[in-house]
Amino acid sequence: MDDWWIWGTSVVPGDDGDYHAFASRWSKEIPFSPGWTSNSHIVRGTAPTPEGPFEFVEEVVSPGESGDWDRMSHNPSVVRAGDRYLLYYYGCHYDGPRPTPDDPHGVDRDGSAVGLASAPAPDGPWEKHGPVIDGETNAVPVVDDDGGVTVFVRDGEFELSVYRADHWSDLDGYELVAEHVLAPLEDHAVWEDQDRDGGFQMVAKDMSAHHENDGYVDSYAGFHATSADGVEWTVSDPPAAYPHATGGDRDLRIRWDDGTETSFPNVERAQVLVEDGTPTHLYLAVMEYSEEDLAAADGPADLASHAKWPADARNVCIPLDSPSE
């Protein structure tokens, strides 16, 4: 999909033997930012292995119409719940025309919410159920064996809040459990902690550069935390979760399988593939900045977190060590 910006990947295995990646995309004919705020929508690709590369298959949540609550859809997170697959995503509405290459204007978003769609298999058919949590974004679900779901969201203050429904299909039953339970963060990935007989593990992006609280790792890098109940969190010691190394001031280094490293000023949208209770792969979204942006900046920390016209934006996969290694 060379003609599209691709951002954030949530991967699930299917009974067909393939791995299915759900991601946000929008046309490269409009700026990366603020283009995502108006033109993002959710697509699916497949690969025979978790590492990919994933081949585009279809749009799952298509660009909405002017009256739709999810005229824009973004940041998918997919999980299996028994015989259904659940897709949680951030959606919002805006008035006026959709930005185009001839008129790449910004929009004033309103009505932000967490939406839900479900399907019997990753290849659908997908049924949209509408918004289930108003006013929140970046939802990550953890589903119980009985269908109950805990949903972790990032609120507007770069803090973690927690919602709960007795069953994922109770569309009016998503209730706030606790707000502002951990900060400063965004782009969190949460999964059930089977190594510790219950509870949760999380990796999240440190957002101390945008918050009054001190952070846990270098700004924009990822930290790890655990919780018995999803409300009281303990940041690990040492806290660092990703990338492979940091040099401070947003020098975020990812190491490739050939031993080389690339420094990225921004690493986002952490998602973790969990199979048989074990986290096996970490997915991250990275941005390659243009030569013009790099030349105009004094260093990585001087670059915008989202460039208007980056050289490219893509997702990377990092295999995780098994607990025994």
User: pLDDT of 93-114, one tens digit each?
Assistant: 999 999 999 998 999 999 899 9
If pLDDT is split at 50, 70 and 90, which confidence band does 5 have?
Answer: very high
Q: Report residue 164 as tokens.
A: 């709960």
SS3 296: helix
Q: Kindly report the backbone phi and psi dihedral angles of residue 2, in degrees, each rounded to the nearest multiple of 5, phi listed first.
A: -65, -20
Residue 156 has pLDDT above 70, yes or no: yes
- Report the pLDDT value the prediction gives residue 212, as an integer from 0 to 100: 87
Q: Is the pLDDT of residue 200 over 70?
A: yes
Is residue 322's pLDDT more than 70? no
- Has residue 324 got a pLDDT over 90? no
Residue 186 pairs in a beta bridge with: 205
- Say if residue 53 is preceded by a cis peptide, omega within 30 of 0: yes
In DSSP terms, 150 is beta-bridged to: 142, 164
pLDDT tier at 232, thresholds 50, 70, 90: very high
**Domains of the chain from N-terminus onward:** 4-319 (2.115.10.20)
pLDDT, the chain, mean: 95
User: CA separation (Å) from 186 to 4, 32, 91, 208, 303?
Assistant: 24, 19, 17, 10, 19
- The more confidently predicted of residues 281 and 301 is 281
Q: By three-state DSSP, how is residue 317 classified?
A: strand
Separation of alpha carbons 172 and 203, rounded Å: 29
Q: Is the pLDDT of residue 260 over 50?
A: yes
Diameter of the chain by CA atoms?
Answer: 56
Q: What DSSP string describes 23-87?
A: EEEEETTS-STTTHHHH-EEEEEEESSTT-PPEEEEEEEPPP-TT-TTSEEEEEEEEEETTEEEE
pLDDT of residue 183: 94
pLDDT above 90 as % of the chain: 89
Per-residue pLDDT band at 325 (split at 50, 70, 90): very low
Q: Tell me what the mean pLDDT of segment 3-19 comes to.
A: 97
Residue-wise pLDDT tens digits, 15-43: 999 999 999 999 999 999 999 999 999 99
pLDDT for 225: 97
Mean pLDDT of all residues in 301-317: 94
SS3 302: helix
Core vs surface per residue 306-315: b (16+ CB within 10 A) or e: bbeebeebbb
Residue 291: CB atoms within 10 Å: 8
Residue 203 to residues 25, 234, 292, 311: CA-CA distances in angstroms? 23, 12, 32, 27
Q: How confident is the model at residue 213 (pLDDT cuts 50, 70, 90)?
A: confident
Reading the block at residue 295, the tokens are 């030349």
